[in-house]
Amino acid sequence: MPKSTHPHWFTYILQCADKTYYTGLTYDLDHRIKVHNSGKGATYTRGRGPVKLVHSEKFTTHKEAAQKECEIKKLSRSKKEILIRQ
């Protein structure tokens, strides 16, 4: 399905088993977490599982979700932890 036809998008933060954080975006959050935990997700999360969802935000467009993903990736670890606690 083309990006533009999905009714919603999620930007998410996962905490890996080694306590590091991974930020991504998807239109199917449950499925994406399962893929990460299967070892077939992003290269970064392979070998760092299991992962757990610690933060997500819902958007109506891919563009909005991608912009938020970029913002989060630029944050320091301490600022990511503040976002997670909110």
Half-sphere exposure of 30 (CA within 13 A, CB side): 0
Classify domain 3-85 by CATH architecture: 3-Layer(aba) Sandwich (3.40)
**pLDDT of the residue at 77:** 97
Q: Where are the domains of the chain?
A: 3-85
| pLDDT tens for the chain, residues 1 to 86 | 455 567 899 999 999 999 999 999 999 999 999 999 998 888 899 889 899 999 999 999 999 999 999 999 999 999 999 999 99
26, 9 Cβ separation under 8 angstroms = yes
**pLDDT of the residue at 3:** 57
